[in-house]
Structure 1
């Protein structure tokens, strides 16, 4: 019994020493983690401030390069009206795009009209073709006169072009809506839209010719006035 007691009693200090070592190791780990957590924001702050300083230096260098390039440019290039040239180029590009759009509308309309005629003949509804074209023509004239009376403007040419654009858009919508109807109603609406668009394009053509004639008269008047001024 004494031997058993002596063998059991010395084990308690060993257990206490192990627990003490575990507690000290745990305390050391927690302290080191806290220190790292406290140090890491400082490191992040140093990194961000360094990046901000690099960005400021880069901006300063770019500003210096820009100033030197501007100083190296000749004075005639600096005095050139770049803003006016940019505006003129933009106007010319818009006019060119508008002309391209106007000339591209014609083949699309011809192809669409021919496909509608073929569709009507294939469905044995060719008698509705002239009726639809006539109704479209009459609707275009009616809508044009109504829009002129409702929206009177001092610039009649611009207002007429806007009215024609709105009427043409209306007939394009009618052409798309006709898909939802039965065969007879669909064929009739297709040719109503074709007749309306045909009349819109005809009126638009005359409007463009009038504009070109007015521009030619205006340029001839300017040339005549410049010649008179030169003679005097």
Structure 2
């Protein structure tokens, strides 16, 4: 019968009862014989396990290098039209398509989800008879959203002419993360923090609506000005 014992430290000791003197023992295997004698042996099995683990890592690295080598051979043996194809541009267009699709989905689902969550939070406040606390955090959140928008535009004026309002998306994500764990806040946190986030999100949605209206007007005016200039030159 073999038992594995972990002894942190053991001082040298001897007594009249027949105990064996011990030195510092760690990760030793104890063999108990029928006569009560104990024998300590070193764990050769652990060393073998470590050796096999190292071999498995080396085999995984060799397999990865083999796959990379095969891929390089495949690329070198491919025809010239495949090599000259703009793969980087196609990948960028694919990522842009995924982002545009995600933005469209978020745009059409954000309003229903936002309305349902607001009604749920207001019903909780009404159940707790604290509905009169709702306007104050709502107005504070709207003011904070305006401050963040102004700070983003002042720090990076190029956002005014960007194709996507990334600063508004970042603000919306930030307040959504604040609003998400609403039921897990303490009592007053459940009453105030979600409505603070609701005010900020509502004003951010309004800024997004205005942002999407402004480029259309500017593009129409620029197109009209260009057509008028061409007509004058003709």
| TM-score category, normalised to shorter length | 0.5 to 0.7
- What is the RMSD of the two structures over their aligned residues, measured on CA atoms? 3.8
User: Which residue matches 1:148?
Assistant: 153
- Name the one with the larger helix percent: 1
Gaps of 5+ in 1: 1-62, 67-82
Identify the residue that residue 39 of structure 2 maps to in structure 1: none
- The Cα offsets for residues 108-147 of structure 1, whole Å up to 9 and x where unpaired, read as 2111111111121112221221112111112112222333
**Contact conserved, 1:153 with 1:159, CA < 8 A, in 2?**
no
Equivalent residue in structure 2 for 1:196, among 192, 200, 213: 200
Number of aligned positions between the proteins: 156
**Within 2, Cα distance between the matches of 1:96 and 1:215?**
23
The structure whose residues are more often strand, as a share, is: 2
Q: Which has the higher contact order (CA 8 A, sep 6+)?
A: 1
| 1:64-112 Cα shifts (integer Å, max 9, x gaps) | xx9xxxxxxxxxxxxxxxx9xx89x967886565344323211221111
Alpha-carbon separation, structure 2, partners of 1:185 and 1:155: 34
What per-residue deviation string (whole Å, max 9, x for no partner) do you get for residues 161-218 of structure 1?
2221111111101112333322222120010000000110111111111011112223
Which of these residues, 108, 111, 114, is aligned with residue 116 of structure 2?
Answer: 111
8 Å contact from structure 1 (residues 174, 193) kept in 2: yes
Q: Structure 2-normalised TM-score?
A: 0.53
Partner residue, 1:122:
127
Structure 1 residues 216 and 203, CA, compared in 2 at 3 Å: closer, same or farther? same
Query: CA 1:125/1:213 → structure 2, altered by over 3 Å: closer, same or farther?
Result: same
Decide which structure has the larger Cα Rg and report it.
Answer: 1
Is structure 2 residue 162 aligned with structure 1 residue 158? yes
